[in-house]
Structure 1
Amino acid sequence: MREFFHRKLERSAIGFVLAIIGVSAIGGFVEIAPLFTIHETVEEAPDMRLYTPLELAGRNIYIREGCYACHSQMIRTLRDEVERYGPYSLAVESKNDHPMLWGSKRTGPDIARLGGKYSDAWHVAHLINPRDVVPQSVMPKYGWLMRDELKADDLDKHLAAQRAVGVPYSDAMIANASADAYGQASPDSPYASGVTERYGEATNMRAFDGEPGRLTEMDAVVAYLQVLGRLTDAAHRQTAAAGK
C-alpha cells in the first residue's frame, strides 16, 4: 500500500510539488513559531555589558584559531555540570554573541564561567604552552599570540558590523574603537579614561600579557577569556533566588 502511494505521488508532478511545499511549511512553522515568543524566554539583564573592542578582537581570534571546536560555552542544567562549572547558562548571556559559541563538543572544559577563575599570567603561560600548567593537556600551543601585534586599526568596522546585527554599540564606541583597545591594555595612557566612560567602571583595565607598552593578540585573547561569564550577573542572581 505504501509503495503504491509513493509511486502514484511521484508520477504526479503537481502532487509531488504540493507535498514538498506542505512538508517544508510544517518544518518552517516549527522553526519560526518559537521566535514570536522569544521575549518570554530570554531573561532580563539590565546590567548587561558589551564587549570592549579589545575583548571583541580576542573573541575574533578565538574563533579564528578554532578554539570553539574543543571548548563549549554552554553549561547545561545537569547537576554535575553546575557543580563543576557554575550556574547553568541563560539565553540572555549570549544575546550579543554573533556568532554564538555554545558548542557541543568538549575536548577541553566548558569555559562559559572562565572569567576571573585564573590570573592573567596563568592564561598567558597556558596559551604559550598548555603543558606548563596542565601536564595532561592535549591543547595546541599558541605562543605566536605573544609575538604578534594586534591589528587594531579596523576595530571600528568590527563594532559597526556587530551593531548591524543588533548589538547596541554607540557612535562614540565605534569611532573610538582603536583607541579604546589600546587604552584598556594601557591603563596609564591618556586613552584609558575613555574606555571606562564608554564601557563602565567594571571593565578590566591592565596589560593582560604582562608587557605594558605594546598591544598583542595575547592581550586581546586574555581580555576576552577574563570576561567570559562576567558581562552580567543574571545567572548568579537566578541561582541565589532559587536557593531562597
Structure 2
Amino acid sequence: MPNFHRKLERSAIGFVLAIVGVSAIGGFVEIAPLFTIHETVEQAPDMRVYTPLEVAGRNIYIREGCYACHSQMIRTLRDEVERYGPFSLAVESQYDHPMLWGSKRTGPDLARVGGKYSDAWQVAHLINPRDVVPQSVMPRYAWLKRNGLKTDDLGLHLAAQRRVGVPYTDDMIANAGADAYGQANPDSPYASGVTARYGEATNVRAFDGSAGRLTEMDALVAYLQVLGRLTDAAQKTAAAQE
C-alpha cells in the first residue's frame, strides 16, 4: 500500500484522476438522494408562506446572527420532544432559503417558539434579555425598536424566493411593502389585504406595541411568533403516534 501511494503521488495525471474519482463518489452520495426527495418530504396542504413582514424579520434574524446561538430543529430524542414540542419535519422548512436548522444551542431551540410567549415578552426580551431571563447571556437588541423597517425592496425579496420555489404570486410581490405595514398596523387600510393574500390565521397586530410606525422590532417579533405555526403537520404526526 505505501508503494501504491508513492507511485500515485508521483504521477500528476494519476493523482488528478484519483481526486476526480473520489470527488465524483462524494458528489453522487450527496446528489442521488435529491431524486427521491418527493418521497421523503411530508405533505402539508395547510402550509403557508411567510408574509413580507415575516420575511423581513427572518432577514434580520440572519443579519444579527441569531442562528449562531439558536437552532430551529427539534430532534426525535425524547428529552428534546418533552422540552420543545413535536420533533421537526422536513416539510416545515420547505420555504426556508437558506434553512436555519443550526447545530449550536447557546440559547434554546426556537422551532416551536411561535405563540409560546406574548409580543410584549418578546419585545422586552430583545430590548434587555436579563429583564425576563436573569441568567441569560444573550446580547441586547434594543435598537430594533428604534430602527424603521425598510420596505421598498421587500417585493424583490419575495421575487427572489419565488425563483427558488416559494409560491409567491404576482399580487403578493406587488403589494409586499403595503402588506408589511398592514400586518403591524391592524387599523390601517392595508391590514385587510394581508389576510386576503395570506389567510385569516395570519397574525395582524402591532408587534412592538406601538401602532403607526413600522420597525425592525415589528418584523423580528412577527417572524418569531410564526415559528412552528406555518403548518400543523408536526402536531398531527405526533398525535398519530400516541
Match of 2:5 in 1: 6
| CA distance in structure 2 between the partners assigned to 1:65 and 1:17 by the alignment | 42
* Partner-residue secondary structure (3-state), 2:237: helix
TM-score (norm 1): 0.98
Matches within 5 A, 1:122-141: 122-141=121-140
Match of 1:20 in 2: 19
| CA distance in structure 1 between the partners assigned to 2:24 and 2:145 by the alignment | 51
Matches within 5 A, 1:45-64: 45-64=44-63
| CA distance in structure 2 between the partners assigned to 1:112 and 1:166 by the alignment | 22
Unpaired runs of at least 5, structure 2? none
Superposed displacement of residue 184, structure 1: 0.4
Match of 1:193 in 2: 192
Superposed displacement of residue 14, structure 1: 2.6
| Structural RMSD (CA) | 0.7
Match of 1:75 in 2: 74
Matches within 5 A, 1:219-238: 219-238=218-237
| CA distance in structure 1 between the partners assigned to 2:147 and 2:21 by the alignment | 54
Match of 2:209 in 1: 210
* Partner-residue secondary structure (3-state), 2:238: helix
| CA distance in structure 1 between the partners assigned to 2:113 and 2:172 by the alignment | 26
Overall identity of the aligned pairs, in %: 85
Superposed displacement of residue 15, structure 1: 2.0
Match of 1:143 in 2: 142
The aligned length equals: 242
Match of 1:240 in 2: 239
Following TM superposition, the consecutive aligned residue runs of length 4 or more in structure 1 with deviations greater than 6 angstroms are none
Match of 2:176 in 1: 177
Match of 2:152 in 1: 153
Superposed displacement of residue 11, structure 1: 2.2
Query: Could you list the per-position Cα deviations for residues 37-90 of structure 1 after superposition, in whole angstroms to 9, with x for gaps in the alignment?
Result: 111110000000110000110000000000000000000000000000000000
Unpaired runs of at least 5, structure 1? none
Structure 1 counterpart of 2:58, which letter?
R
| CA distance in structure 1 between the partners assigned to 2:30 and 2:240 by the alignment | 32
